[in-house]
Amino acid sequence: MTINSAKVRGAYIHIPFCDHICYYCDFNKVFMKNQPVDDYLDALAQEMNHYAESGPPQTIYIGGGTPTALNERQFERLFQAVRKYLFHPALKEFTVEANPENLNEAKLEIMKRYGVTRLSIGVQTFDDRLLKTIGRAHQSDDAERAVRLAQRHGFDNITVDLMFALPGQTESSLHDSMERALRLGTPHISIYSLQLEPKTIFYNRMKSGSLRLPGEDIEADMFGQIILELGRHGLHHYEISNFAKPGFEGIHNSLYWRNEEYYGIGAGAHGYVNGIRYANAGPIKKYIDSVRKNGHSRRSEHAVTFEEKMEEEMFLGLRLMKGVSTDRFNDRFGCPIETVYGDAIERLKKKGLLAEHDGRLAMTQKGIFLGNDVFEAFLIS
């Protein structure tokens, strides 16, 4: 495959199948039992081929759902298609999400054989009581065994995914989870606060008044604890929810934050190609039928306007701790950043939420805790 470096793109591939549904999850997913998995994999391969004609991706990310819920035969079929249509030797990063309860030696060997360079393991917490509360299928010891098993198979670039502000979670429990994660020695930890999304079990419980969550002050204290503790152990805070040792920052996700393009492949996947943001059909059968007919499954498209591109440059780029380059903004949009956002920038600087250093605008420590307020300031319409 010929590499065209002129266009920076990633490829996201969605596996919507799960053995169980977590109480907080709002991603496009279905119970795996009785699903047309093989037909879905055929459709994925066809859609990969469709986008491969537009040029190879620099990164690949397989997420879900639960990619490791596939059995070994299905799992290998997936990677055979990736190798045929998207993989190339100059690929910068190849990430796969994995759940502790269905990550085994056979699947790790398949991933090694097909060039996977990075694993993102969904741990969420090392508190067994909380794991049950949020509807996870594994226990803390399963998570530790999965990480150790991956390390023994030569995966040194592993992300442990954690959550905070969970129902009934205390600062002590959060500290213990971080300590166990840090003892595993992975070079990257992602840690997200619980978001209540419509059509989830937790959202319905919140609406009925039966879900007890930590208050905003406790959530802010937890976030401060996270930044302090992970920084103390050499994981630098490079994005609002992500911490890494130098050189292990997530490349694929950074494409999103840098407002680059990416193919979205699979049921319910979202993509951004040639200035158009699109969403695929979500229902499995509708996705398969659409790909068979068209080679892709776009159910909606939106041509991003010039103003929207500028907005996205700001509120995505400011998620990164290094912030937004004023020179890059000028190069991309043909005007100084102050021409468009001068008033907002000055207002945020006076509030102590934004600062400028070495040609970059970035959130201050105070701004990180009030990120939504900062992002909203750059919405023109």
Q: Do residues 318 and 174 both lie within one domain?
A: no
Distance from C-alpha of 111 to C-alpha of 155, rounded to nearest angstrom: 10
Task: Kindly state whether residue 249 falls inside one of the protein's structural domains.
Answer: yes
Q: Is residue 198 part of a domain?
A: yes
List per-residue pLDDT tens for the chain, 381 residues long.
333 345 779 999 999 999 888 888 888 889 989 999 999 999 999 999 999 999 999 999 999 999 999 999 999 999 999 999 999 999 999 999 999 999 999 999 999 999 999 999 999 999 999 999 999 999 999 999 999 999 999 999 999 999 999 999 999 999 999 999 999 999 999 999 999 889 888 989 888 988 889 989 999 999 999 999 999 999 999 999 999 999 999 999 999 999 999 999 999 999 999 999 999 999 999 999 999 999 999 999 999 999 999 999 999 999 999 999 999 999 999 999 999 999 999 999 999 999 999 999 999 999 999 999 999 999 865
Q: Are residues 128 and 40 in the same domain?
A: yes
Within a domain: residue 277?
no
Same domain, 245 and 113: yes
The answer to whether residue 294 sits within a structural domain is no
Task: Look at residue 283 and tell me if it is in a domain.
Answer: no
- What residues contact residue 91 under an 8 Å CB cut-off, 6+ apart? 56, 57, 58, 59, 60, 115
- DSSP reduced 3-state for 113: helix
For residue 133, the domain's CATH number is: 3.80.30.20
CATH assignment at residue 340: 1.10.10.920
* Residue 101 and residue 228 in one domain: yes
Sign of CA dihedral 252, 247, 233, 221: negative
Under 8 Å CB-to-CB from 150, ≥6 apart: which residues? 98, 103, 108, 119, 121, 158
Residues 84 and 223 in one domain: yes
Last-in-domain residue among 200, 225, 257? 257
| 273 domain-assigned | no
Residue at which a domain ends, from 257, 272, 291: 257
User: Same structural domain for residues 216 and 71?
Assistant: yes
Do 194 and 334 share a domain, yes or no? no
Structural domain of 362:
306-376
Whether 92 and 174 map to the same domain: the answer is yes
- The count of domains in the chain is 2
